[in-house]
């Protein structure tokens, strides 16, 4: 791998929205918009370290801008860009995909520079037509197409559908050997460092981003990696976070290994949605995250553009089907629904959701048809009519986990039964107390009964909890999140335990009928708890099927000084 020359032209001024312009290769400048405080993406995808929106300018004999930025950078972005280039001299705008965080300034750019030819995949141009509402020069590119900017900057386009939008293309510059990938290989990490010189700092964010955005398209990730393998790549210029150069092959290998594991998973859910219609893609991604959390692979399929043979193939492979209702007027989607119905069989699980587009196919007649074929319903139809909120996304996430758990139940029981008897009994001698963990984030509350809890540090005081990856509360226990550890008393634990062990439908209020009051960190304290501690998650360790969530303890209280903690004695070690 050859190092790409880096020279700073501009340094970040003080402030929480800043822009950095850096030469990353011959006649190639990165314009990095640093959003230091952004703490939420796709509503439910919490960010810990802000994010960046990276756009790139290549100045050969002709000039090309790759992507723009988020609208919130409007002023700062134009200031920087117009210092680099006279907009009337810009020849091309390459759109890697049409998501607003990268294309938020496209409409304005086309007003400021109407001569610009927009270069993008066919689907992206159609999408932009609807967004811009007036004609603009365009060039549709397919996989392998080339565009010569002169001075050796011959660009080659690589089609990378579903990474993570269906219209994604990568751009490879033969002169600098930089591959521009937009969302793929990115991460939400805001830092002045332009490149990946500190891999340990960013590895967790790289994985988190993959899990949230790419895991649901593992097969597409593998196809894209196959396509870029033949390119001699010096650096990957991503649309979010640091650019990848120092450990390039390592990052690509990680994507490959994670995706191979997904693609090989025995259990797959096919999740059909309609890109650009209502809130279909947002909701589909929230459901996909819930499914992924339960250890089941997901394949997202866009009903508007999928070929019918692909639809049939994925239905045949899948053990579960989730469908977001497409608009009634979409012929491709209607044909795809017929294909799904024809290929579905009684051994599959099904879940349906409305997408809030206003003209959805009616959900109940479709549900009846699946029931007639004998599919088992994994969750009741999700009727979403309003723009999604954190609550809606939590409901979708939990619905995803429900279908995942339904499909893995048999396997889990088999694994439990397979445990050696002696070992099982030995493990059963580990005993703990009984606790209710409660958490709250942006109005979404959750709770779970836990016994795998212990004090984990003295100074500062800290506790650790083992949280199964598919617990509903897991998404509220990310780094920085707050929770309350409620300790149950031995004289008063049974009714609370029974209540919190109920099977709650997606989005149910787990505190209905339970007396609570609000902790200073915003989480519910159970009025009947023996003691409570207010905590904040400061680290998480991945342990196979559980996360060890470590929280620093900020404050706490005991209700009854002389009462004892409820202790949970187990006979066997193969369940809690
Ligand atoms: C005695 C007992 C102790 C438990 N301890 C834990 C625990 O420490 N960690 C965990 O993830 N689940 C634990 N569970 C399982 C969850 O409490 C329970 O399955 C959960 O509330 C279901 O919630 P969900 O809808 O979020 O999956 C325990 C269950 C029991 C019966």
**Residue 240 placed within a domain:** yes
Q: Check whether residue 83 and residue 141 sit in a common domain.
A: yes
Q: How confident is the model at residue 7 (pLDDT cuts 50, 70, 90)?
A: very low
Ligand 1 neighbourhood includes 179 CB (under 6 angstroms): no
368: domain CATH number is: 3.40.50.360
Least-confidence region, from 19-33, 172-186, 252-266: 252-266
Q: CB–CB of 225/256 below 8 Å?
A: yes
- CA-449 nearest atom, ligand 1: 17
* Environment class of 102 (CB within 10 Å of its CB; exposed 0-12, middle 13-18, buried 19+): buried
Per DSSP, helices labelled H in 443-554 are 494-500
Measured in angstroms, how far is the CA atom of residue 471 from the centroid of ligand 1? Answer: 8
Ligand 1 neighbourhood includes 427 CB (under 6 angstroms): no
Between strands 92-94 and 63-66, the pairing is: parallel
Q: Check whether residue 82 and residue 19 sit in a common domain.
A: yes
Block residue for tokens 């012929």: 331
- Cα separation, 107 vs 303, in Å, equals 27
Q: Percentage of the chain surpassing pLDDT 90?
A: 75
* Environment class of 282 (CB within 10 Å of its CB; exposed 0-12, middle 13-18, buried 19+): buried
- Cα separation, 350 vs 318, in Å, equals 11
- Cα separation, 307 vs 2, in Å, equals 40
- CA-401 nearest atom, ligand 1: 27
Ligand 1 neighbourhood includes 448 CB (under 6 angstroms): yes
Q: Check whether residue 87 and residue 112 sit in a common domain.
A: yes
Average pLDDT of the residues in 303-324: 95
Block residue for tokens 């634990």: 493
Q: CB–CB of 447/495 below 8 Å?
A: no
Q: What token pair was written down for 21?
A: 């312009």
Ligand 1 neighbourhood includes 247 CB (under 6 angstroms): no
Q: What token pair was written down for 484?
A: 């309350």
Q: How many structural domains compose the chain?
A: 3
Q: Which residues contact 544 (CB under 8 A, 6 or more apart)?
A: none
Helix (H, G, I), strand (E, B) or coil at 265: coil
Measured in angstroms, how far is the CA atom of residue 452 from the centroid of ligand 1? Answer: 9
Q: Check whether residue 250 and residue 273 sit in a common domain.
A: no
Ligand 1, pocket-test mutation among 501, 567, 575, most atoms within 8 A of CB: 501
Q: Check whether residue 426 and residue 538 sit in a common domain.
A: yes
Q: Check whether residue 374 and residue 473 sit in a common domain.
A: no
Q: Check whether residue 329 and residue 199 sit in a common domain.
A: no
Inform me whether the pLDDT recorded for 9 exceeds 50: no
Average pLDDT of the residues in 468-479: 92
Q: What token pair was written down for 453?
A: 């809890």
Ligand 1 neighbourhood includes 472 CB (under 6 angstroms): yes
Looking at per-residue confidence, does 4 or 562 come out higher? 562
Nearest CA to ligand 1 atom 30: 576
**Residue 573 placed within a domain:** no
Per DSSP, helices labelled H in 374-493 are 390-417, 421-427
* Environment class of 485 (CB within 10 Å of its CB; exposed 0-12, middle 13-18, buried 19+): buried
> Among 362, 388, 411, which residue terminates a domain?
411
> Among 263, 281, 313, which residue terminates a domain?
263
Inform me whether the pLDDT recorded for 203 exceeds 90: yes
Inform me whether the pLDDT recorded for 248 exceeds 60: yes
Q: Which residues contact 522 (CB under 8 A, 6 or more apart)?
A: 440, 482
**Residue 503 placed within a domain:** yes
Give residue 469's domain range.
Answer: 420-568
Q: Check whether residue 102 and residue 246 sit in a common domain.
A: yes
Q: What token pair was written down for 303?
A: 């009903």
Model pLDDT for residues 388-423, shown as the tens digit of each residue: 888 898 999 999 999 999 999 887 777 777 777 888
221: domain CATH number is: 3.60.15.10
- CA-546 nearest atom, ligand 1: 11
**Residue 19 placed within a domain:** yes
> Among 236, 263, 290, which residue terminates a domain?
263
**Residue 576 placed within a domain:** no
> What pLDDT does residue 12 have?
41
Q: Check whether residue 250 and residue 355 sit in a common domain.
A: no
Ligand 1 neighbourhood includes 568 CB (under 6 angstroms): yes
Ligand 1 neighbourhood includes 289 CB (under 6 angstroms): no
Q: CB–CB of 574/420 below 8 Å?
A: no
518: domain CATH number is: 2.30.110.10
Q: How confident is the model at residue 2 (pLDDT cuts 50, 70, 90)?
A: very low
Q: Check whether residue 376 and residue 430 sit in a common domain.
A: no
Helix (H, G, I), strand (E, B) or coil at 323: strand
Which of 322, 260, 263 is closest to 288 using CA atoms?
A: 322
Nearest CA to ligand 1 atom 6: 450
Looking at per-residue confidence, does 563 or 162 come out higher? 563
Model pLDDT for residues 30-67, shown as the tens digit of each residue: 999 999 887 766 645 666 788 999 999 999 999 999 99
Ligand 1, pocket-test mutation among 293, 448, 542, most atoms within 8 A of CB: 448
What residues form DSSP beta bridges with 537? 551
Q: CB–CB of 307/296 below 8 Å?
A: no
**Residue 251 placed within a domain:** yes
> What pLDDT does residue 46 have?
66
What residues form DSSP beta bridges with 20? 32
Q: Percentage of the chain surpassing pLDDT 70?
A: 96
- Cα separation, 197 vs 188, in Å, equals 16
Q: Which residues contact 126 (CB under 8 A, 6 or more apart)?
A: none
Q: Could you tell me where the beta strands, DSSP code E, fall in 69-215?
A: 92-94, 117-120, 138-140, 146-148, 154-159, 169-173, 178-182
Measured in angstroms, how far is the CA atom of residue 562 from the centroid of ligand 1? Answer: 27
Q: Check whether residue 175 and residue 255 sit in a common domain.
A: yes
Q: CB–CB of 425/569 below 8 Å?
A: no
Q: How confident is the model at residue 532 (pLDDT cuts 50, 70, 90)?
A: very high
Q: How confident is the model at residue 4 (pLDDT cuts 50, 70, 90)?
A: very low
Q: Check whether residue 180 and residue 249 sit in a common domain.
A: yes
Most confident by average pLDDT, 116-130, 253-267, 517-531: 517-531
- Cα separation, 20 vs 33, in Å, equals 6
Q: What token pair was written down for 280?
A: 């279909």
């Amino acid at each position: 791998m050859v190092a790409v020359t880096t020279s700073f032209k501009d340094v970040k001024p003080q402030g929480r929205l800043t822009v950095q312009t850096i030469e990353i290769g011959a006649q190639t400048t990165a314009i990095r918009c640093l959003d230091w405080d952004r703490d939420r993406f796709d509503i439910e995808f919490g960010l810990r370290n802000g994010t960046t929106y990276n756009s790139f300018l290549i100045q050969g004999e002709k000039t090309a801008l790759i992507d723009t930025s988020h609208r919130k950078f409007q002023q700062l972005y134009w200031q920087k860009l117009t210092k680099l280039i006279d907009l009337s001299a810009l020849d091309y705008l390459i759109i890697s995909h049409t998501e607003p965080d990268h294309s938020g300034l496209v409409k304005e750019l086309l007003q400021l520079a109407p001569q610009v030819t927009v270069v993008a995949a066919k689907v992206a141009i159609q999408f932009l037509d609807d967004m811009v509402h007036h004609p603009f020069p365009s060039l549709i590119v397919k996989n392998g197409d080339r565009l010569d900017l002169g001075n050796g900057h011959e660009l080659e386009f690589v089609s990378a559908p579903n990474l993570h939008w269906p219209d994604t293309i990568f751009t490879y510059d033969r002169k600098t050997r930089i591959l521009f990938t937009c969302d793929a290989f990115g991460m939400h990490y805001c830092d002045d460092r332009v490149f990946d010189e500190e891999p340990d700092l960013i590895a967790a964010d790289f994985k988190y981003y993959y899990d949230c955005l790419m895991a649901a398209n593992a097969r597409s990730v593998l196809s894209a990696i196959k396509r870029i393998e033949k390119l001699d790549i010096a650096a990957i210029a991503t649309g979010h976070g640091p650019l990848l150069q120092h450990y390039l092959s390592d990052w690509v290998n990680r994507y490959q290994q994670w995706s191979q594991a997904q693609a090989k998973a025995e259990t797959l859910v096919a999740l059909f949605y309609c890109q650009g219609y209502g809130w279909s893609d947002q909701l589909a991604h929230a459901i996909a995250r819930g499914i992924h959390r339960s250890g089941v692979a997901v394949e997202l399929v866009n009903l508007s553009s999928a070929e019918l043979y692909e639809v049939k193939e994925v239905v045949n492979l899948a053990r579960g089907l989730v469908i977001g209702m497409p608009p009634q007027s979409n012929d491709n989607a209607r044909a795809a629904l017929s294909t799904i119905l024809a290929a579905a069989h009684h051994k599959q699980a099904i879940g349906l959701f409305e997408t809030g587009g206003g003209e959805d196919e009616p959900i109940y007649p479709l549900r009846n048809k699946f029931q007639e074929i004998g599919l088992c319903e994994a969750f009741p139809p999700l009727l979403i009519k309003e723009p999604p909120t954190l609550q809606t996304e939590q409901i979708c996430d939990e619905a995803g986990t429900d279908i995942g758990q339904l499909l893995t139940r048999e396997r889990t029981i088999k694994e439990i039964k397979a445990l050696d008897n002696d070992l099982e009994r030995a493990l059963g001698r580990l005993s703990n107390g009984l606790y209710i963990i409660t958490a709250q984030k942006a109005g979404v509350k959750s709770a779970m009964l836990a016994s795998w809890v212990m004090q984990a540090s003295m100074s500062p005081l800290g506790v650790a909890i083992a949280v199964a990856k598919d617990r509903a509360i897991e998404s509220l226990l990310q780094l920085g999140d707050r929770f309350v550890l409620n300790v149950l008393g031995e004289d008063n634990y049974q009714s609370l335990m029974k209540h919190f062990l109920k099977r709650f439908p997606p989005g149910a209020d787990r505190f209905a009928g339970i007396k609570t009051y609000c902790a200073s960190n915003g989480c519910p304290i159970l009025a009947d708890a023996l003691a409570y501690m207010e905590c904040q998650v400061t680290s998480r360790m991945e342990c196979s099927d559980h996360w060890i969530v470590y929280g620093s303890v900020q404050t706490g209280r005991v209700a009854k000084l002389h009462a004892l903690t409820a202790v949970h004695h187990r006979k066997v070690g193969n369940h809690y």
